[in-house]
Amino acid sequence: MSKSVTDVICPFCGTLCDDLEVIVSDDGKKIEDIYNACAIGAEKFMHAQAPDRIKRPRMQQPDGSYKEVSYDEAVEYTARMLYNAKKPLMYGWSSTSCEAQSVGHEIAEKVGAIVDNTATVCHGTTLIAVQDVGIPSCTLGEIKNRADRIIFWGCNPCHAHPRHQSRYSVFPRGFFTNKGHMNRKVIVVDPRVTDTAKLADYHYQIEQGRDFELLSAFRVALRNEPLPETVAGIPREKIIEGAEVMKSGRFGIIFFGMGVTQSLSKNHNIDNAIMLTKDLNEFTKFSIMAMRGHYNVTGSGQVLGWQFGYPFSVDLSRGFARYNPGETSSNDLLRRGEVDAVFVLGSDPGAHFPISSVRKIAQLPSVCVDPHITPTSEISKLHVPVAFVGVEVGGNCYRMDNVPIEARKVVDPPEGVLTDVEFLTRVNARLDQLMGGK
């Protein structure tokens, strides 16, 4: 007989779906089936079952091959690397629990590290804008129940957050939106005809890199000031029409993604989008929300914010927290050669960073803590496999709307495999010994 575990959290994307049902074998060791998850979410659970999974730490040898080492040796290497470095980078944190992040930050403070999370190549620009001008936001539940104007700007949830539209933003029937998508008007701003753009009522096929101008143009239209004939490739009438659609709703929301946060103007795009949202509140109720990618990148920002005051790129090297993306952000540090050791947990910079940064990681003493074999684990001196958070161990996570949700454990990790928290706690204890003996 198999048993069913209900209300499971999906530890994949920032939508953090909390309605999964997982069928587990009787001995609680094997996942047999997953209900309700989207394809990418289900794959995350299935991956934990892969027969070729690495179960012990591996140390890179001079010839490029890997040698299995014990967790004790892995703890020793990691602690010594951080202890010897003048300015280590501790990057990642977005695919793990808040509990693990907290232990990681304790280590970072001890060794004067820089703590940075995946926002640095993602929604970090959003966080800069929020610090500059604030943010009027809401929860996904409010959107489901109230929102009738949905704007997707530079994001493609059909592929990146597959259940977002069915659970919250477009299709669900809510308290004041009892006709589901019939109640809602969807505007998509994207230079490409994405699958999200295909289901929109209005698609603004904007010229690439002109989001800042179009956002400004909507603000100009709201103030009834004159506009040029076209802005960003969009005719003036369309812009005025769009502004009218936004104004005429009862509750509007702008969702935005990497298409605006990492294209030309970066934080200024978000800054202007937030100001547009504020302007729209003169006419109706409007909110804005970042489509966060990793399931707990929001949590990393929360824990960093709570402990050090800044949500990413926190430089602790001088014993107090400093923050200046452009200087203290991972790619700038790596590219410029500002750090002398790299520790990665819960992310894959080997796959996501520019090659100039990846090369630097390969040259430096480096540790990668990750359940999978990834491009990062392949260039790191030490790879430490750990249990999957949200599958093999629970922990706190934050959804993209900053709502904390407790992830659940579904099956046991393979025998002897440590969790992120256990590994970090042992490194922390070893550092205490090393520093005590200083």
Partner 1 sequence: METVTITMKNQPKLYLEADNVSPDKFAGKKASEIAALHAYEGREQTTLGKYFEIAGEGGATAADTRIIVKGDVSRVKYIGMKMSAGEVLVEQSPDMYTGAWMQGGKLVVKGNVDSFAGIGMKGGEFLIDGNAGDYLGAAYRGDWRGMQGGLIRVKGSAGSDIGYFMNGGTIIVHGNTDVHVGTHMEGGRIVIKGNAPSKVGGQMVGGEIFVYGTIDVMMPGFKYVQDEEVEVDGERSKFALYYGDTGERHPKRKGQIVYGKLYLKI
The site for partner 1 (CB under 8 A) is made up of: 85-87, 111-112, 128, 131-132, 210, 212-213, 216-220, 222-223, 225-228, 231, 264-265, 268, 271-272, 275, 317-319, 323-327, 336-340
Q: Which does 16 bind (CB under 5 to 8 A by kind): ligand SF4, partner 1, none?
A: ligand SF4
Nearest of 197, 210, 164, 114 to residue 14 by alpha carbon: 164
Q: Is 37 in the site for ligand SF4 (CB under 6 A)?
A: yes
* 35-43, 78-86, 99-107, 133-141 -> range binding ligand SF4 (CB under 6 A): 35-43
Task: Name, in order, each residue with C-beta under 8 angstroms of 226's C-beta and a sequence gap of 6 or more.
Answer: 220
Shortest CB 86 distance to partner 1, Å: 3
CA distance 301 to 398: 9
Q: Is 301 in the site for ligand SF4 (CB under 6 A)?
A: no
Count of C-beta atoms within a 10 Å radius of residue 225 = 9
Shortest CB 272 distance to partner 1, Å: 6
Helix, coil or strand: residue 317: coil
Shortest CB 7 distance to ligand SF4, Å: 13
Q: Which residues pair with 320 in a beta bridge?
A: none
Q: What is the radius of gyration, based on Cα positions, of the chain?
A: 23
Q: How many residues bind ligand SF4 (CB under 6 A)?
A: 13
Q: Which does 13 bind (CB under 5 to 8 A by kind): partner 1, ligand SF4, none?
A: ligand SF4
Shortest CB 318 distance to ligand SF4, Å: 38
Count of C-beta atoms within a 10 Å radius of residue 122 = 23
Shortest CB 234 distance to ligand SF4, Å: 30
Q: CA geometry: angle at 168 spanning 165 and 172, to 5°?
A: 85
Among 24, 41, 333, 385, binds ligand SF4 (CB under 6 A): 41
- What's the token pair of residue 150? 């949905």
Residue given tokens 């500002």 in the structure block: 338
Footprint of ligand SF4 on 346-375 (CB under 6 A): none
Q: Which is nearer to ligand SF4, 38 or 387 (CB)?
A: 38
The answer to whether 232 and 211 have CB atoms below 8 angstroms apart is: yes
Q: Which does 324 bind (CB under 5 to 8 A by kind): partner 1, ligand SF4, none?
A: partner 1
Nearest of 232, 228, 226 to residue 213 by alpha carbon: 232
**Cα-flanking dihedrals φ and ψ of residue 187, to 5°?**
-110, 130
Among 8, 16, 221, 290, binds ligand SF4 (CB under 6 A): 16
Nearest of 222, 270, 211 to residue 246 by alpha carbon: 222
Q: Which is nearer to partner 1, 75 or 341 (CB)?
A: 341
DSSP string, 250-295: SEEEEEE-HHHHSSTTTHHHHHHHHHHHHHHTTTSEEEEEE---BT
CA distance 26 to 124: 44
Shortest CB 166 distance to ligand SF4, Å: 9
Shortest CB 53 distance to partner 1, Å: 36
Q: Which is nearer to partner 1, 239 or 253 (CB)?
A: 239
Query: Binding mask 154-193 vs ligand SF4 (x if CB under 6 A, - otherwise)?
Result: -------xxx------------------------------
Q: Which does 220 bind (CB under 5 to 8 A by kind): partner 1, ligand SF4, none?
A: partner 1
Q: Which is nearer to partner 1, 219 or 294 (CB)?
A: 219
Helices and strands (H and E) in the chain: how many: 18, 21
DSSP string, 34-72: EES--HHHHHHHHHTT-TT---S-EEE-TTS-EEE--HH
Shortest CB 307 distance to ligand SF4, Å: 26
CA distance 82 to 93: 17
Fill in the amino acid letter for 97. S
Q: Which does 195 bind (CB under 5 to 8 A by kind): ligand SF4, partner 1, none?
A: none
Helix, coil or strand: residue 155: coil
Shortest CB 223 distance to partner 1, Å: 6
Shortest CB 301 distance to partner 1, Å: 15
Alpha helix positions (H), 69-227: 71-84, 98-111, 124-133, 140-146, 157-160, 164, 195-198, 211-222
Q: Is 95 in the site for ligand SF4 (CB under 6 A)?
A: no
The residue ranges that bind ligand SF4 (CB under 6 A) are 10, 12-13, 15-17, 37-38, 40-41, 161-163
